[in-house]
Chain A
Amino acid sequence: MSDNTAHDEPELVQLLTPEGELRHHPDYPLDLGAEEVRGLYRDLVLVRRVDTEAVALQRQGELGLWASLLGQEAAQIGSARALRPQDMAFPSYREHGVAWVRGVDPRELLGMFRGVTNGGWDPAEHGLHLYTIVIGSQTLHATGYAMGVQRDGATGGDDGTAVIVYFGDGATSQGDTNEAFNFAAVNNAPVVFFCQNNQWAISEPLERQSRVPLYRRAAGFGFPGVRVDGNDVFASLAVTRRALQHAREGQGPMLIEAFTYRMGAHTTNDDPTRYRVAAELEEWKRKDPILRLRAYMAANGVADDDFFAAVDAEADKLGERVRIECRALPDPDPLDIFHEVYAEPHAQLDLQRAEFADYLASFEDAGAEGGR
């Protein structure tokens, strides 16, 4: 019997080795056509490019802040590609790959970090809630949402709805997250807990958060937990598909620990060289999610050089578009703020808008009189 201590090696579900060799796993079969594999590769490359551009734009003062996903592309793309349109995802603040898959245009994402939108995208339209920065809170929101789905009778069959929530290794220490685990278990809620264990919570390494491998926490709450190679897009996809199916069919929650690495800084405010060693980074570079998929594809005739060149060219174009569009994002008209309050006309608001319009106009008059 396993005594749940850190002594026995945790099993890591891996379908694609760092060298790009395919492995089969009896519990997580994955049958992808060449077209689908090429699609995953394209996703990985393009979200990495969006991320790189966003970091650069922040450095140039075009964005207030950015939390890079570098290194976590496969965990995010693999898991999000397992979602169906009716499913709902709750992100933390680093899930730009999930946003990509859920059809949020990078422009909308960057607009939020630039501070020129009233919040971001429409969660219902995209099946993606907005970013949450208070650590762990969204695990409870997702659980409650899943309980609602269950109450609506939208689970129990193959066409059921499932919910997924993204959080980090650090978040597993919060009471909220543990309460969410318990709520989901007790209620058999259709929610998948997707923990991206990127080994760091800002400067704190995993050892600060847990004495047991994170996926084993689930056992104590009474539901299954699994550790997947988060730099392996195939495994991330296969394991998440299975967990979502489990939820969809009414069998309750599952915890997925995606074992990965935060290659960049915590956010653009952070300098990781202050607290971690370069050797660790080098080790994880060898496990890069994009390189291994590319190696697999090239070796197995899934794609040729023309394809890879075309994706690179597409990434260049996307990067350029992101740069141009971000800089061109207009500052909202000050009067726009009144549009987002009530759906129907509202007398008090109309009055305020009129007053504010007059106030703004007073500056134009002053300018006209040469007052400035």
Chain B
Amino acid sequence: MSVITYRQALRDTLRAEMHRDENVILLGEEIGVFEGSYKITEGLLNEFGERRVRDTPIAEEGFVGAAVGAAMLGLRPVVELMTINFSLIAIDQIINHAAKIYGMFGGQNSVPMVIRTPGGGGQQLGATHSQNIELFYAFVPGLKVLAPSTPAEAASMLRAAIRDDDPVLLLENLGLYNTKGEVPDDDESVAEIGRAAVTREGSDITLIGYSRMAALGTQVAEALAKEDISVEVVDLRSLRPLDRQTIVDSVKKTGCAVVAEDDWLTYGIGAEIAASIQEGAFDYLDAPVRRVAMAEVPLPYAKPLENAALPSTESVTTAIKETLSAVGKRVG
């Protein structure tokens, strides 16, 4: 085992996958000479050359669309979108083309491409540059959406995404790039797409999150353990396909749940989770499912306002405690 950052895990995996399969190519703005806005592609242009690592013009629709075409030929393009915000410019290529070509053309062409892109606020980048819009893609049949929360998950999910024959959006997170965690040496693990994980067992309440919120959830659970509150943490890991069974099983055990989501509340991912819980574990619920999400505003640039708008350790902790007191469980 080595302890490495989320960033390093992504970089090592990309590199290893490029060695493993020469059809893996990289496309994006600033990924070559500049080595990526967040330095995930560091060293890769030098090592693999321009044939494999392409700096593109600043045209997101252009290079995502070109990746769709290249993928139909059998290449495995891994596209980097500087942030998920710029996917909005490429959204037609993603939703109407990448997601649909296999199904609409009778399975004649699969589109084995990966879009790697970070979401996440909290960096004072302003409303247009700080959105969490993974939901748009998780909504679409034909796409797979993965959201790793630890370095080990980042590695195994990127590997899975590249090897998968369908278009996969791998949601990274600006706030996670520098976080550290254990990754096996010579790691070859390939995540099972569509599988959530219980990352911490508990008996009082289920806390469900993904990406930054799953990481934050683990911290909250650790802190609450000191107050004798036993939180079970479910890391969704895959937003589509969604592993409803793991969620439902956990709630059947604990009887109540809080969903922590890094997107807006209304129509957000938490709504889907809550609906899945009431479908699968209605009789087991001792309290309504609580959702903790971003304030429903364009994310402010001003630091204090930005902090206030984002879900935090405090807001998740409060939601857990309030839910527990509602069901009459002792709160520390």
Within 8 Å by CB of B34, from A133, A174, A274, lies A274
Q: Are B29 and A116 in contact (CB under 8 A)?
A: no
Between A and B, how many residue pairs show CB distances below 8 Å? 60
Residues of B close to A170: CB separation below 8 A:
57-58
Is A64 at the interface (CB under 8 A from chain B)?
A: yes
- Within 8 Å by CB of B30, from A116, A203, A210, lies A203
Q: Is B128 an interface residue (CB 8 A)?
A: yes
Complex contact B59–A204 (CB within 8 A): no
Asked if A303 is at the interface (CB within 8 A of a chain B CB), the reply is: no
User: Does B33 reach chain A (CB closer than 8 Å)?
Assistant: yes
Q: Complex: how many Å from CA A307 to CA B29?
A: 46
What per-residue 1/0 map shows which CB atoms of A157-178 lie under 8 Å from chain B? 0000000000000110111100
Instruction: From A65, A115, A204, A210, give the contact of B302 (CB < 8 A).
Output: A115
Q: Which residue of A lies closest to B86 (CB)?
A: A134
Interface residues on A, range: 20 to 34
List residues of chain A with CB within 8 A of the CB of B304.
331
A230 to B305, CA, bound (A): 39
Given contact pairs A65-B124, A115-B303, A275 touches B59 in the complex (Cβ within 8 A): no
Is B301 positioned at the interface, with any CB of A under 8 Å from its CB? yes
Which residues of chain B have C-beta atoms less than 8 A from A210's C-beta? 57
CB distance from A264 to the nearest CB of B (A): 16
Which of B30, B62, B302, B305 meets A173, CB within 8 Å? B62
Q: Is A135 in the interface zone, CB < 8 Å from B? A: yes
User: Are A175 and B89 neighbours in the complex by a CB distance under 8 Å?
Assistant: yes
Once bound together, how far apart are the Cα atoms of A102 and B125, in whole Å? Answer: 26
Size range of the interface on B? 20 to 34
Query: B70 to chain A: closest CB distance in Å?
Result: 18
Residues of B within 8 Å of A201, CB to CB, are: 58
Is the pair B55, A208 in contact by a Cβ cutoff of 8 Å? yes
B61 within 8 Å of A by Cβ? yes
Q: Across the interface, which residues of A come within 8 angstroms of B97, CB to CB?
A: none
Report the Cα distance A136→B86, complex, angstroms. 12
Q: Is the CB of B129 within 8 A of A133?
A: yes
Asked whether A173 lies within 8 Å of B129 as measured between CB atoms, the reply is no
Contact A116 B302 (CB under 8 A): yes
The answer to whether A64 touches B301, judged by C-beta atoms less than 8 angstroms apart, is yes
What is the distance, in angstroms, from B31's C-beta to the closest C-beta of chain A? 10
**A175-B59, A274-B34 given; A133·B302 CB < 8 A:** no
Q: Which residues of B contact A175 (CB under 8 A)?
A: 59, 61-62, 89
Tell whether A17 is near chain B: CB-to-CB under 8 Å. Answer: no
Cα separation A134 to B60 with both chains bound (whole Å): 11
Cβ of A65: which chain B residues have Cβ within 8 Å of it? Answer: 124
Is B126 within 8 A of A204, CB to CB? no
Interface pair B301/A174, CB less than 8 Å apart: no
A251 contacts the other chain (Cβ, under 8 Å)? no
**What is the bound-complex CA distance between A115 and B301, given in angstroms?**
6
Please report which residues of chain B, range 47-85, place their CB below 8 angstroms from some CB of chain A when the two chains form the complex.
55-59, 61-62, 85
CB-CB < 8 A to B85: which residues of A?
134
Q: Quick one: which of B298-322 are within 8 Å of A by CB? A: 300-305
Residues of B within 8 A of A202 (CB): 29-30, 34, 37
- Beta-carbon contacts of B83-97 to A below 8 Å, as 1s and 0s? 001100100000000
| In-complex Cβ contact of B29 among A64, A204, A275, A331 (8 A) | A204
- Residue A199, interface by CB 8 Å: no
Residues of A within 8 A of B303 (CB): 64, 115
Mask: chain B, 78-121; 1 = CB below 8 Å from A; 0 = not: 00000001100100000000000000000000000000000000
Q: Are B126 and A133 interface neighbours, CB within 8 A?
A: yes
CB pair A203–B34 under 8 Å, yes or no, is yes
CB distance from B96 to the nearest CB of A (A): 15
Whether the Cβ atoms of B57 and A115 lie closer than 8 Å is no
State how many angstroms separate the Cβ of B251 from the closest Cβ of chain A: 33
Given contacts A64-B301, A133-B129, A203-B33, contact A209 B58 (CB under 8 A): yes
- Name, among B59, B62, B128, the residue most crowded by chain A CB atoms within 10 Å (CB to CB): B59
Q: Given that A115-B301, A174-B59 are known contacts, is A134 also in contact with B34, CB under 8 Å in the complex?
A: no
* Cα A274 to Cα B33 with chains together (Å): 9
Chain A positions within 8 Å of B58 at CB level: 135-136, 170-171, 173-174, 201, 204, 209
With a CB–CB cut-off of 8 A, which chain A residues contact B300? 115
Q: Which of A60-80 contact B (CB under 8 A)?
A: 64-65
A64 near B128: Cβ-Cβ < 8 Å:
no
Cβ B33 vs Cβ A64 within 8 A: no
Are B128 and A134 in touch, CB under 8 angstroms?
Answer: yes
Q: How far is the CA of A183 from the CA of B200 in the complex (A)?
A: 56
Complex Cα distance A331/B30, Å? 36
CA–CA, A203 and B56, complex, Å: 11
Q: In the assembled complex, which residues on chain B have CB atoms less than 8 Å from the CB atom of A173? A: 57-59, 62
- Bound complex: CA A112 to CA B286 (Å): 48
Complex interface: chain B residues within 8 A of A64 (CB): 124, 301, 303
Q: Which residues of A contact B126 (CB under 8 A)?
A: 133
Instruction: Tell me whether A209 and B124 are in contact (CB under 8 A).
Output: no
Supposing A65-B124, A135-B58 touch, asked if A275 and B33 sit within 8 A by C-beta, the answer is yes
A-B contact pairs, 14 of them (CB 8 A): A64-B301, A65-B124, A115-B301, A115-B303, A134-B86, A136-B58, A170-B58, A175-B59, A202-B29, A204-B29, A204-B30, A208-B56, A209-B58, A274-B34
B residues contacting A by CB (< 8 A) are 29-30, 33-34, 37, 55-59, 61-62, 85-86, 89, 124, 126, 128-129, 300-305
Shortest beta-carbon contacts, A-B, top 7: A115-B302, A203-B34, A173-B57, A170-B58, A173-B59, A64-B124, A173-B58
* A115-B124, A173-B58 known, 9 other contacts, Cβ within 8 Å: A133-B129, A170-B58, A175-B62, A202-B34, A202-B37, A204-B33, A208-B56, A208-B57, A210-B57
